[in-house]
Amino acid sequence: MARRHQRPAKQPIYIGCEGQSEVAYAGLLESILRDKQLGYHLVTDDLGKGAGSLEQKVRQAHQNIETKLKQKYKFKKRYVMLDADVLNRDESRRRAIEREAADYNIVVIWQRPCFEAVLLNHIERCEYHEPSDSKIAEAQLKKQCPAYSKPPSIAMLKQCLPDWLQSGPFARGARRHGELDELLRFIGVIDRTI
């Protein structure tokens, strides 16, 4: 009897998402992982359901991770994606949130100032845009991708990023968002040598 070749199991990465936009973004990343046959799988949670403040979202992510650990998940890395504009430039609050997340072994990906700015930074010639607030970020994004609306679908994100399977747009977009750059390089969406 011939033995069948078994693929190694994909290593799970946890992504706690502030809302549906981030869930769609994680879905786009999952598409890339699948299409490029990279060795990771993203396990996402929509933290916009039930958790209010940023601190509550981090705690909810921790609770969700604990539940999943009981289901035999062994997360290689853990992240939460949060909008920085909610902080109102309160650096002590940001540091406190990061400390609490670190206590749970979670890295906070700060979207500066919001998800739409992150997506905007993935678009060619927009990688250095630094919108000061979420309204400006959304307006600038809609100039580049008129079809954009909240919450986006994976298909809409692919439309906004036509070269989404290439690492270029993700490398561009991650430059301003260090923790996101770390995630994208770790899972192989961005070539680690770039």
Structural domain contains residue 5? no
Structural domain contains residue 137? yes
pLDDT above 90 (res 10) = no
pLDDT of residue 193: 65
Return the structure tokens found at 84. Answer: 């920085």
91: containing domain: 11-187
pLDDT of residue 53: 93
pLDDT of residue 118: 94
**What average pLDDT does range 37-50 have in this prediction?**
91
| Cα–Cα distance, 110 to 18 (Å, whole number) | 11
Structural domain contains residue 128? yes
Structural domain contains residue 193? no
Amino acid at 151: P
What are 73-110's pLDDT values in tens digits?
A: 899 999 999 999 999 889 999 999 999 999 999 999 99
pLDDT above 90 (res 157) = yes
Q: How many domains does one find in the chain?
A: 1
Structural domain contains residue 170? yes
Structural domain contains residue 3? no
pLDDT of residue 20: 96
Q: How many residues does the chain have?
A: 194
Choose between 35 and 79: higher pLDDT.
79
Choose between 3 and 117: higher pLDDT.
117
- What global pTM score does this model have? 0.90
Structural domain contains residue 57? yes
The model's confidence at residue 112, banded by pLDDT at 50, 70 and 90, is very high
Radius of gyration over every alpha carbon of the chain, rounded to an integer in angstroms: 17
Q: Is 21 exposed, middle or buried (0-12, 13-18, 19+ CB in 10 A)?
A: buried
| Cα–Cα distance, 79 to 74 (Å, whole number) | 14
pLDDT above 60 (res 3) = no
